[in-house]
């Protein structure tokens, strides 16, 4: 019996936090720019330096440059995935916890078979344990017990009865042994020995994978609703892949003998999938590749994959690559297709009342599979660098990339339920101005500075002014969201004596985890305001419709690639007559530094490179709010000037704020000569008599309201009772 998921009123209590975590991990995937830099590396030392600008910044921190190898890169990146997964599992409640356990069972099966096979071949125990996948490890004493059984009847029996049966996958061993015994219960030690000795380890593995896959599928169907639909499609595709690979790999082996095709090969096929049961019955009869291809010809997706196999040559894409591409495509749909429905705290809450665990479960499975592919990509690039195979270095499978092979295809992807959901959501622009991964890393780096609080004067001042505007609105906001909260500037400026701006509960979210959590303990104000923190990408808001009474944002939205798209999501998350109050940097921000860089580049380099990010113009701000659908929009502007000893200290403070340059096409860094020239020009053009320089920050304050019938509305044209000409007359 599957545990209840929870209804619309209780789901967040059970699963909201862990869902928010996995959606936050979405922003940590390597993007096209990262892969481009990696493929330009000349050595693995260069690879390590490039990865320091990504979420893998610490994964090789303990390794010296001379000891780096593709194996270490694989181990480090895999351990990062496992660490994140284990943290998610520790926070998960049922039935989500059981779902995550099912993900690990596949790796446990691989590990146990590896140990059994290695032990039978006399391999060293410690060497075998090192090769195990971390996601499939269990207690080390059990692992070592598997490797120490005696090769006799009693040893096999003890292995099954005291070791294997107590593992999380023990039920699959029990089912396999009973099926191998013709459905009878194991009677004695010799029965266990006969099965384990006579059946090849690869057949045991395939049999257990079939049992696991059927069990996982049935579990998802018991959860029901969208979980059964989306995870059902994903697991069916996995089952089809297993059936095709079993058939293909059996050619030239005893399993392809006519007498064994039905008795031994057919039982290995999973009992789910698009190929089951008619096509799998035909696969069982297939004796060569032409017969296999004839069966797959009726399935467009698999026909295309089979064509890849038929045209395979040295250095070209293999059938495994084609399957990996399809896995990534489906995982992206499962992960990305839900991103605009709801993903974090209050995620999965309600687009419809029946919406439940699927919104969480599919993204967890997708996250693990996409991260696995990212590890394979990094290992591939590393191996190509070590072996100097530059011609093949780009033959990896991109993730969340506009350049992915399937994005240029017009053919149906054969996942109608997932595709339908993806097309039903708002189509957001994919144009990229800022490198969000670099920006997140810059802000996290700023958070770990010992004097990081010394650089927060600007955001603290703007937060104070935002709260002043909030207090002018005489109403209560039971639930508010601080979007891009940083270290909690809004929260720290909500004063209890002034009524907390009417806010009763504040959700703080930011994409930079270290900055978000820096002051989470011991440094907060002592008011009674209830608050919680979530790691959320500001470009993909994981909240349900009509949930918040107030969304407030303090100097965070100038780093999103599409402000309009973010405004749309903010509006969707607001209740009717809910308020959005935001502050963004305006177009005149750092105009002095911008001018100095332009003149310095022209003087020293003969051209201009972008060193300062673009900001929003005043004229565009109100238009964006109105075009998005906000009502009663107002925009006002303010200028804040800060005095610095010199231009270099200004740039140091910008870095300390996490506001250093992050434009995607930022080109080459400024040279020493250009920096010196820019600093000199800054001093001569904008310097004060006392030798200091001023920096201008233009702040735009935006207020918009979610439409509601009771709000003031303009009168219909022609209904006026008085003319403007009458004004001023007696």
Q: Looking at residue 190, what is its pLDDT?
A: 53
Q: Looking at residue 182, what is its pLDDT?
A: 64
Read off the pLDDT of each residue in 298-320 and give the average, rounded to a whole number. 84
Q: Looking at residue 527, what is its pLDDT?
A: 61
pLDDT tens digits, 213-251: 999 999 988 877 666 778 888 999 999 999 999 999 999
The upper half-sphere exposure of residue 158, i.e. CA atoms within 13 Å in the direction of its Cβ, equals 12
| pLDDT over threshold 70, residue 555 | yes
Parallel/antiparallel/unpaired status of strands 548-554 and 480-483: parallel
Query: Is pLDDT larger for residue 647 or for residue 1?
Result: 647
pLDDT tens digits, 5-48: 555 455 567 777 777 788 788 888 998 888 999 999 999 888 88
State the residue for tokens 């949930």.
547
Cα angle, residue 623 at apex, residues 617 and 627 outer, rounded to 5°: 140
Q: Looking at residue 192, what is its pLDDT?
A: 57
**Cα 610 to Cα 627: distance, rounded to the nearest angstrom:** 29
SS3 659: coil
Q: Which residues contact 464 (CB under 8 A, 6 or more apart)?
A: 493
**Cα 635 to Cα 702: distance, rounded to the nearest angstrom:** 5
Choose the weakest-confidence range: 318-322, 615-619, 679-683, 695-699.
Answer: 615-619
**Cα 23 to Cα 116: distance, rounded to the nearest angstrom:** 37
CA distances from 721 to 96, 617, 725, 729 (A): 63, 38, 12, 15
Q: Looking at residue 371, what is its pLDDT?
A: 94
CA distances from 368 to 88, 107, 673 (A): 11, 12, 46
Cα separation of the two ends of the chain? 82
* pLDDT band, residue 403 (cuts 50/70/90): confident
Query: Is pLDDT larger for residue 2 or for residue 457?
Result: 457
Q: Looking at residue 248, what is its pLDDT?
A: 94
**Cα 14 to Cα 23: distance, rounded to the nearest angstrom:** 16
Q: What is the CATH number of domain 436-588+614-641+697-705?
A: 3.40.50.150
| pLDDT over threshold 90, residue 461 | yes
Where b means 16+ CB within 10 Å and e means fewer, 626-658 reads eebebbebebeeeeeeeebeebeebbebbbbbb
Q: Which residues contact 498 (CB under 8 A, 6 or more apart)?
A: 471
Q: Looking at residue 26, what is its pLDDT?
A: 84
Q: Looking at residue 326, what is its pLDDT?
A: 92
CA 717 to chain centre: 50
Residue (of 234, 90, 227, 112) closest to 176 by Cα position: 112
pLDDT tens digits, 465-487: 999 999 999 899 999 999 999 99
Residue (of 503, 505, 507) closest to 473 by Cα position: 503
Give the number of residues written for the chain: 730
**Cα 358 to Cα 226: distance, rounded to the nearest angstrom:** 5
Residues paired with residue 705 on neighbouring β-strands, in sequence order: 579, 631
Q: Looking at residue 372, what is its pLDDT?
A: 94
State the residue for tokens 């790999």.
249
State the residue for tokens 């080109």.
667
For the chain, the average pLDDT equals 81
Q: Looking at residue 540, what is its pLDDT?
A: 87
Helices marked H in 387-435 = 416-424
pLDDT tens digits, 682-710: 999 999 999 999 999 999 999 999 999 88
CA 79 to chain centre: 17
Percent of the chain having pLDDT more than 70?
Answer: 79
* pLDDT band, residue 140 (cuts 50/70/90): confident
Q: Which helix (H) or strand (E) holds 129?
A: helix 125-131
* pLDDT band, residue 178 (cuts 50/70/90): confident
Choose the weakest-confidence range: 308-312, 462-466, 547-551, 682-686.
Answer: 308-312
- 103 phi and psi angles, rounded to 5 deg: -60, -40
pLDDT tens digits, 152-169: 556 566 666 666 777 888
| pLDDT over threshold 80, residue 675 | yes
Token pair for residue 169?
A: 């996958």
Q: Looking at residue 214, what is its pLDDT?
A: 93
Annotate 261-299 with three-state secondary structure: HHHHHHHHCCCCCCCCCHHHHHHHHCCCHHHHHHHHCCC
Q: How is residue 7 annotated by DSSP? A: -
Token pair for residue 275?
A: 């190929």
Q: Which helix (H) or strand (E) holds 684?
A: helix 672-686
Query: Is pLDDT larger for residue 332 or for residue 460?
Result: 460
Q: Which residues contact 338 (CB under 8 A, 6 or more apart)?
A: 359, 362, 363, 421
pLDDT tens digits, 485-541: 999 999 999 987 777 889 999 999 999 999 998 887 554 555 678 999 998 989 888
Where b means 16+ CB within 10 Å and e means fewer, 237-261 reads bbbbbbbbebbeebeeeebbeeeeb
Contact between 572 and 631 under an 8 Å Cβ cutoff? The reply is: no
Query: Is pLDDT larger for residue 401 or for residue 608?
Result: 401
Q: Which residues contact 417 (CB under 8 A, 6 or more apart)?
A: 229, 230, 233
* pLDDT band, residue 287 (cuts 50/70/90): very high
Q: Looking at residue 702, what is its pLDDT?
A: 95
Contact between 26 and 537 under an 8 Å Cβ cutoff? The reply is: yes
> DSSP secondary structure string, 527-543?
---EEEEEE--TTS---
Calculate the dihedral angle through the C-alpha atoms of 51, 55, 56, 58, rounding to the nearest 10 degrees: 110
Token pair for residue 456?
A: 């927060």
Read off the pLDDT of each residue in 543-559 and give the average, rounded to a whole number. 93
Where b means 16+ CB within 10 Å and e means fewer, 189-226 reads bebbbbbbeeeebebbbbbbbbbbbbbbbebbbebeeb
**Cα 335 to Cα 362: distance, rounded to the nearest angstrom:** 7
pLDDT tens digits, 88-121: 898 888 888 899 999 999 999 998 888 878 777 7
Q: What share of the chain is helix, strand, coil (3-state, %, to 5)?
A: 55, 10, 35
Residue (of 366, 91, 342) closest to 230 by Cα position: 366
| pLDDT over threshold 60, residue 207 | yes
pLDDT tens digits, 411-457: 344 433 333 333 333 334 445 678 888 888 889 899 999 899 999 99
> DSSP secondary structure string, 714-728?
PPPTT--SS-GGGTT
**Cα 645 to Cα 643: distance, rounded to the nearest angstrom:** 7
Q: Looking at residue 339, what is its pLDDT?
A: 33
| pLDDT over threshold 80, residue 663 | no
Where b means 16+ CB within 10 Å and e means fewer, 571-587 reads bbbbbebbbbbbbbbbb
- E strands, 518-644, are 530-535, 548-554, 574-585, 631-644
Where b means 16+ CB within 10 Å and e means fewer, 494-514 reads beeeeebbbbebbbbbbbbbb
Give the domain ranges of the chain.
11-420, 436-588+614-641+697-705
- 666 phi and psi angles, rounded to 5 deg: -80, -10
pLDDT tens digits, 51-71: 888 888 776 666 555 578 898
SS3 705: strand
Residue (of 477, 491, 645) closest to 547 by Cα position: 477
Cα angle, residue 201 at apex, residues 195 and 203 outer, rounded to 5°: 85
């Amino acid at each position: 019996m599957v545990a209840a998921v929870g209804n619309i009123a209780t789901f967040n209590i059970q699963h909201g936090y862990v869902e928010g975590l996995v959606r936050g991990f979405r922003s940590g995937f390597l993007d096209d720019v990262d892969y481009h830099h990696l493929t330009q590396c000349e050595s693995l030392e260069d690879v390590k330096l490039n990865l320091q600008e990504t979420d893998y910044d610490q994964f090789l921190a303990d390794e010296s440059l001379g000891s780096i190898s593709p194996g270490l890169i694989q181990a480090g990146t895999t351990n990062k995935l496992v660490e994140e997964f284990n943290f998610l599992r520790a926070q998960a409640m049922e039935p989500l916890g059981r779902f995550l356990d099912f993900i690990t069972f596949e790796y446990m099966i691989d590990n146990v078979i590896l140990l059994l096979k290695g032990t039978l071949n006399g391999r060293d125990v410690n060497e075998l344990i090192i090769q195990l996948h971390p996601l499939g490890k269990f207690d080390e004493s059990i692992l070592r017990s598997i490797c120490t059984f005696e090769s006799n009847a009693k040893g096999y029996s003890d292995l099954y009865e005291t070791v294997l049966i107590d593992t999380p996958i023990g039920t699959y061993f029990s089912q396999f042994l009973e099926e191998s015994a013709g459905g009878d219960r194991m009677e004695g030690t010799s029965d266990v020995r006969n099965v384990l000795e006579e059946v090849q380890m690869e057949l045991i593995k395939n049999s257990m994978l079939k049992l696991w896959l059927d069990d996982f599928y049935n579990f998802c169907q018991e959860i029901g609703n969208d979980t059964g639909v989306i995870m059902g499609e994903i697991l069916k595709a996995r089952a089809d892949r297993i059936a095709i690979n079993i058939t293909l790999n059996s050619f030239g082996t005893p399993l392809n003998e006519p007498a064994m095709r039905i008795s031994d090969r057919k039982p290995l096929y999973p009992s789910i999938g698009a190929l089951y049961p008619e096509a799998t019955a035909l696969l069982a009869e297939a004796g060569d590749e032409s017969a296999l291809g004839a069966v797959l010809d009726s399935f467009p997706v698999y026909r295309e994959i089979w064509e890849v196999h038929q045209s395979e040559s040295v250095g070209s894409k293999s059938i495994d690559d084609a399957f990996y591409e399809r896995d990534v495509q489906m995982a992206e749909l499962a992960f990305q297709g839900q991103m605009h429905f709801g993903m974090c705290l209050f995620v999965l809450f309600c687009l419809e009342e029946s919406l439940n665990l699927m919104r969480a479960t599919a993204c967890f499975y997708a996250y693990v599979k996409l991260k696995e592919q990212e590890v394979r990509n990094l290992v591939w690039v590393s191996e190509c660098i070590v072996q100097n195979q530059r011609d093949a270095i780009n033959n990896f499978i991109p993730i969340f990339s506009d350049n992915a092979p399937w994005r240029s295809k017009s053919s149906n992807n054969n996942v109608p339920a997932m595709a339908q959901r993806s097309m039903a959501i708002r189509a957001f622009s994919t144009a990229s101005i800022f490198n969000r991964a670099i920006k997140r890393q810059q802000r996290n780096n700023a958070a770990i500075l010992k004097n990081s609080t010394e650089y927060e004067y600007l955001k603290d001042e703007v937060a104070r002014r935002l709260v002043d505007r909030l207090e002018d609105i005489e109403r209560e906001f039971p639930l508010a969201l601080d979007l891009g909260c940083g270290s909690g500037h809004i929260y720290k400026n909500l004063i209890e004596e002034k009524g907390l701006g009417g806010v009763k509960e504040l959700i703080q979210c930011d994409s930079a985890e270290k900055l978000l959590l820096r002051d989470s303990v011991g440094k907060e104000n002592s008011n009674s305001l209830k608050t919680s923190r979530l790691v959320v990408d500001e470009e993909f808001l994981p909240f349900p419709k009509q949930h918040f009474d107030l969304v407030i944002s303090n100097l965070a939205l100038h780093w999103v690639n599409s402000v309009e798209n973010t405004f749309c999501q903010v509006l969707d998350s607001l209740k009717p007559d809910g308020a959005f109050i935001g502050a963004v940097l305006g177009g005149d921000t750092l105009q002095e530094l911008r001018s100095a860089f332009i003149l310095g580049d022209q003087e020293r380099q003969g051209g201009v490179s972008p060193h300062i990010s673009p900001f929003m113009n005043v004229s565009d701000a109100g238009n964006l709010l109105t075009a998005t659908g906000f009502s009663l929009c107002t925009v006002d502007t303010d200028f804040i000037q800060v005095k610095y000893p010199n231009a270099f200290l200004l740039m140091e403070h910008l870095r300390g704020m996490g506001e250093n340059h992050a434009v995607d096409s930022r080109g080459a860094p400024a040279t020493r000569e250009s920096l010196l020239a820019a600093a000199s020009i800054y001093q001569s053009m904008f310097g004060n008599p006392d030798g200091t320089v001023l920096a201008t920050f233009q702040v735009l304050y935006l207020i918009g309201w979610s439409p509601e019938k009771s709000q003031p509305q303009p009168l219909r044209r022609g209904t006026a009772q008085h003319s403007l000409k009458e004004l001023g007359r007696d």
